[in-house]
């Protein structure tokens, strides 16, 4: 059989298409829906769609385009290299990169109109890059209001602002933004968010006194966008929420009006009847309890499912089974029970590890619980070996295609 579906549609495609065997299906309509939902909550503040780490595993370029179509005004990434990849794909929206090393290519960032987060040490390098490129750099000054990671300390803030303003006066840069990052916004009852907010207001006042007139002041991540309107300022930086996942323990995506965008699916690669007491997978940590049928799922830790996540759910033919025995590099096993010859009917069936949860199916959160981690990590680690398949690439709304790439007034 040499036939291949010309459409590339996995539902119609023959098994030779690798996306039919195993894929992470990314629903770009869900991305658009989530961005609109978050934009409505944030309004009048604008939305920066955070698409670092290949859009948390969802595919940076298609997600960035969908987010911009749905009203995101900015894009955000960690590394300059990630920003340059978006520019290379023709995306010219305002774009901020905030995590740098001495090896970062500040010159390329300035040349590509990428905004650069600056915590202090970067300033001299950014200015050197601006001189070399004969183009003013666009920077966002970052302050550490309590997270203890990136950002200028409160003690050095005054000095950093002063230096930046001298360079701005010389035409070498423009202070476009001032920002900070929250530590505990996913736990709304904790007091530290108030303390960080108060500190942020203080540093904004210091900057205003020094004559800084930023376009955007930004502090909120997804949890703060959803739970703390007083943190919105001019712009919110949302990552997790645009992927449809909940940042809160005990609150589902649906309760927040969000739609999970990634479905992880594969085809059951073997079903076989085994006797009572059959050991399963490395270490033989599981034995069947009675005669049973084992289903083999061709997804493992090389695909990004954590090895510790035994017990995670896999849905086959409308029923959800826990993974039994150790998860291996390429595969995992579910115990279909004493179904007799009927089990063979599940050979070649679709297995869903997680999806949008709308129909009671398994979710990213289930896998996060099984692995003792958070939903962020589950989707972000789905590896490049799993083909991404994008659905609903075309926005149904009028004017969708024309709005794919914005001319970013702030990007020049
Ligand atoms: C990753 C990141 C975000 C997005 O956080 P979410 O909780 O996913 O919304 C925002 N700001 C910074 C600085 C980040 O590193």
Tens-digit pLDDT profile for residues 200-224: 999 999 999 999 999 999 999 999 9
Q: Is residue 247's pLDDT more than 50?
A: yes
Looking at residue 406, the DSSP 8-state letter turns out to be -
Verify whether ligand 1 is closer than 6 Å to residue 181 (CB atom): yes
The CATH number of the domain covering residues in 262-391? 2.40.37.10
Q: What is the pLDDT at residue 341?
A: 87
Q: Which of 181, 196, 225, 380 to mutate to test the pocket of ligand 1 (most atoms within 8 A of CB)?
A: 181
Verify whether ligand 1 is closer than 6 Å to residue 237 (CB atom): yes
Placement of tokens 């930004």 in the chain: 218
Q: Are 46 and 35 in contact (CB under 8 A)?
A: no
Structure tokens given for 376: 């962020």
Task: Cite the residue boundaries of each domain of the chain with CATH code 3.20.20.10.
Answer: 73-241
Q: Is 142 a residue of the active site?
A: no
Nearest CA to ligand 1 atom 6: 239
Q: What is the pLDDT at residue 20?
A: 80
Verify whether ligand 1 is closer than 6 Å to residue 222 (CB atom): yes
Window from 229-238, 384-393, 402-411 with minimum mean pLDDT: 402-411
Verify whether ligand 1 is closer than 6 Å to residue 50 (CB atom): yes
Q: What is the pLDDT at residue 3?
A: 27
Distance from residue 136's CA to the centre of ligand 1 (Å): 26
Per the DSSP assignment, residues forming a β-bridge with 238 are: 49
Nearest CA to ligand 1 atom 4: 239
pLDDT digit string (tens) for 104-159?
A: 999 999 999 999 999 999 999 999 999 999 999 999 999 999 999 999 999 999 99
Q: Which residues contact 243 (CB under 8 A, 6 or more apart)?
A: 31, 34, 55, 56, 58, 260, 261, 262, 379
Q: What is the pLDDT at residue 407?
A: 30
Atom of ligand 1 at shortest distance to CA of 48? 10
Window from 1-5, 74-78, 279-283, 390-394 with minimum mean pLDDT: 1-5
Task: Report the candidate in 73, 140, 70 with the shortest Cα–Cα distance to residue 109.
Answer: 140
Mean predicted lDDT score pLDDT of the chain: 93
pLDDT-derived band at 65, boundaries 50, 70, 90: very high
Q: Which of 51, 60, 76, 95 to mutate to test the pocket of ligand 1 (most atoms within 8 A of CB)?
A: 76
Atom of ligand 1 at shortest distance to CA of 179? 13
Distance from residue 8's CA to the centre of ligand 1 (Å): 34
Distance from residue 238's CA to the centre of ligand 1 (Å): 6
Alpha-carbon distance 222 to 253, whole Å?
Answer: 12
Verify whether ligand 1 is closer than 6 Å to residue 177 (CB atom): no
Per the DSSP assignment, residues forming a β-bridge with 286 are: 280
Q: Is residue 166's pLDDT more than 50?
A: yes
pLDDT digit string (tens) for 315-336?
A: 999 999 999 999 999 999 999 9
Verify whether ligand 1 is closer than 6 Å to residue 246 (CB atom): no
pLDDT digit string (tens) for 370-381?
A: 999 999 999 999
Q: What is the pLDDT at residue 28?
A: 98
Q: What is the pLDDT at residue 15?
A: 52
Q: Which of 185, 219, 221 to mutate to test the pocket of ligand 1 (most atoms within 8 A of CB)?
A: 221
Which is the catalytic residue, given 20, 46, 52, 301? 52
Task: Cite the residue boundaries of each domain of the chain with CATH code 2.40.37.10.
Answer: 262-391
Alpha-carbon distance 259 to 262, whole Å?
Answer: 9
- 73-241 has which fold? TIM Barrel (3.20.20)
Verify whether ligand 1 is closer than 6 Å to residue 236 (CB atom): no
Q: Is residue 86's pLDDT more than 60?
A: yes
Q: What is the pLDDT at residue 342?
A: 87
Alpha-carbon distance 58 to 294, whole Å?
Answer: 31
Q: Is 52 a residue of the active site?
A: yes
């Amino acid at each position: 059989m040499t036939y291949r579906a010309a459409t590339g549609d996995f539902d119609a495609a023959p098994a030779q298409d690798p996306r039919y065997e195993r894929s992470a299906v990314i629903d770009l309509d869900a991305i658009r829906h989530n961005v609109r939902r978050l934009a409505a909550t944030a309004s009048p503040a604008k939305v920066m769609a955070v698409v670092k780490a290949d859009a948390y595993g969802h595919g940076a370029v298609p997600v960035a385009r969908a987010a911009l179509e749905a009203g995101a005004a900015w894009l955000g990434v960690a590394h300059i290299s990630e920003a340059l990849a978006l520019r290379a794909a023709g995306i010219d929206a305002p774009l901020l990169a905030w995590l740098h090393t001495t090896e970062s290519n500040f010159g390329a960032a300035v040349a590509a109109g990428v905004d650069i987060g600056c915590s202090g040490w970067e300033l001299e390098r950014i200015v050197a890059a601006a001189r070399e490129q004969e183009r003013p750099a666009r920077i966002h000054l970052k302050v550490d209001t309590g997270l203890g990671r990136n950002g200028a300390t409160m003690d050095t803030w005054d000095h950093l602002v002063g230096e930046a303003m001298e360079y701005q006066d010389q035409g070498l840069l423009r202070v476009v933004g001032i920002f900070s990052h929250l530590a505990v916004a996913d736990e709304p009852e904790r007091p530290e968010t108030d303390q960080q907010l108060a500190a942020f207001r203080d540093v904004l006042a210091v900057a205003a006194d020094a004559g800084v007139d930023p376009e955007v002041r930004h502090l909120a991540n997804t949890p703060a966008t959803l739970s703390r309107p007083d943190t919105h300022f001019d712009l919110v930086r949302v990552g997790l929420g645009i992927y449809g996942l909940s940042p809160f323990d005990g609150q589902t995506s649906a309760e927040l009006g969000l739609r999970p965008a990634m479905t992880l699916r594969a085809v059951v690669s073997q079903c076989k009847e085994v006797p009572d007491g059959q050991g399963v997978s490395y270490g033989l940590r599981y034995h069947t309890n009675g005669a049973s049928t084992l289903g083999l799922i061709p997804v493992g830790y090389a695909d990004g499912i954590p090895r510790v996540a035994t017990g995670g759910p896999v849905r086959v033919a409308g029923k959800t089974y826990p993974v039994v025995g150790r998860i291996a590099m390429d595969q995992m096993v579910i115990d279909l029970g004493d179904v007799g010859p009927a089990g063979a009917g599940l050979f070649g069936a679709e297995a869903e590890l997680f999806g949008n949860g709308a129909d009671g199916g398994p979710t990213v959160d289930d896998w996060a619980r099984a692995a003792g981690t958070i939903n962020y990590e589950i989707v972000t680690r789905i590896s490049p070996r799993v083909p991404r398949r994008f659905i609903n690439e075309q926005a149904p709304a009028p004017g969708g295609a024309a709005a794919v790439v914005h001319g970013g007034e702030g990007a020049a």
